[in-house]
A and B are shown apart, each in its own frame.
Chain A
Amino acid sequence: MKESENDFGTLLKFMKLKRHETPPPGYFNSFSGQVITRIRAGEAREHSSEAPWLLKLVQAFEFKPAFAGAFASALCLLLVFGIVYAERPDSSPQPLLQNSEPLSGSFAAVSPSSLPQPADSIGMIASNNPANSLQPVASLFGSQNQFAQPVSFSLSGN
């Protein structure tokens, strides 16, 4: 080791320069005072904290990195599980209007001549569900709705 120190003799002399780097005069006079002030301020904040459990959790993370790692891993697992679960397609989509009862008498009177040809006349219905689109379906209106029935409202006075 002595031999190697001789090899680095000039370098070691150079390194002595670092020992002459000193902080501004009087710097250490107030150093410990600042540390104690910050400790007192931290204690006061801790006592007045509304969420001491959060502070304890943060302190646990600081002093036990393994705990922080385990907590982060659990969060990641939860996130991955959530994403996978959310992206899973529904197992059995309900066909649109499968069990719908024929609608009758609930539409206001409209002249059939003013409407375009209804979709049921060609037996197709548009849907944004690929499973149900372009499937022949029963008429929404049924045969009795081929012609609009006039509806009369009678308002009973109180």
Chain B
Amino acid sequence: MIMAEPAEPTDLEPAADAPVAEMDLVRRAQRGDLAAYDELVQRYQERIYATVYHMTSNHEDANDLAQDSFIKAFQALKSFKGGSSFYTWLYRIAVNKTINFLKQRKNRTHMSLNDLDFNTENNPDLVALISDKTPRRDAGLKELQEKLNAALLKLSEPHRLVVVLHDVQGQSHEEIAEIMECNIGTVRSRLFYARQQLQSLLTDYLKPT
């Protein structure tokens, strides 16, 4: 009988020990080990913060909501049975918290945008977007940033979430469907509609390159 050799882990498939390590951290955190939970927070803090920030366009709100999400996740950790990955479960908490916050804050949006990093001007796609008539390149990018965030805030929360998760954070349709607890078709249709709306809102800035 010929035994098949175990396949080498690829880039697409996470290494076998990665989820085990995560589940180990989760089990320790469920027993009240704060050092283990600290490691989980460090592992996902940037992604959770970024999602909340892109949804709110406000750094202070994103800071509060991201921290609250991690605290709520710790308090509810005993109810986590491992039906989905910890990351997906955590994302759901953060997304629900953010959507509830945005619904409460309806029509009282206040942008507090983070600065663009120094790599922005080296991105050829972004440089191409800046009008030749713009006297200063910095001013052009800043203006584009504000217009883009204002347009995003005009989308409904589910449409904004899909476009943020897919087009900004690069998550797959399947991952988004799992986070939003809907089917992939819904994700695709929401993404298409959200892009259409953004395109019409930003029509003055979207010149063909």
Contacting pair B114 A23 (CB below 8 A): yes
Contacting pair A20 B148 (CB below 8 A): no
Contacting pair B41 A15 (CB below 8 A): no
The residue that B144 contacts in the complex, of A17, A19, A32, with Cβ under 8 A, is A17
Instruction: Answer yes or no: B150 CB below 8 A from chain A CBs.
Output: no
What B residues does A8 contact at CB under 8 A? 195, 199
- In the complex, A52→B59 CA distance in Å? 34
Q: Which segment, of A37-45, A112-120, A122-130, A138-146, faces chain B?
A: A37-45
CB distance from A47 to the nearest CB of B (A): 13
Tally of chain B residues near chain A (CB < 8 A): 52
What B residues does A35 contact at CB under 8 A? 38, 41, 67, 70-71
CB distance from A140 to the nearest CB of B (A): 65
Contacting pair B117 A16 (CB below 8 A): no
Contacting pair A16 B123 (CB below 8 A): yes
What A residues does B59 contact at CB under 8 A? 23
What B residues does A42 contact at CB under 8 A? 71, 75
Tally of chain A residues near chain B (CB < 8 A): 32
Instruction: Answer yes or no: A18 CB below 8 A from chain B CBs.
Output: yes
- In the complex, A141→B54 CA distance in Å? 87
Contacting pair B117 A36 (CB below 8 A): no
Contacting pair A36 B114 (CB below 8 A): no
Considering the complex, give the chain B residue whose CB is closest to the CB of A33.
B38
What A residues does B123 contact at CB under 8 A? 16, 20
What B residues does A34 contact at CB under 8 A? 67
The residue that A22 contacts in the complex, of B45, B79, B117, B206, with Cβ under 8 A, is B117
CB distance from A16 to the nearest CB of B (A): 6
Instruction: Answer yes or no: B182 CB below 8 A from chain A CBs.
Output: no
Q: Check A63/B79 contact, CB under 8 A, given A12-B167, A40-B34.
A: yes
Q: Check A21/B128 contact, CB under 8 A, given A11-B198, A36-B34, A63-B76.
A: no
Contacting pair A13 B128 (CB below 8 A): yes
Residue contacts A-B, CB under 8 angstroms, 26 given = A11-B198, A14-B126, A16-B123, A16-B125, A16-B126, A17-B145, A17-B148, A18-B148, A18-B168, A20-B116, A21-B54, A22-B114, A24-B115, A28-B42, A28-B49, A31-B42, A31-B66, A35-B71, A36-B34, A36-B37, A38-B67, A39-B71, A40-B34, A42-B75, A62-B72, A63-B76
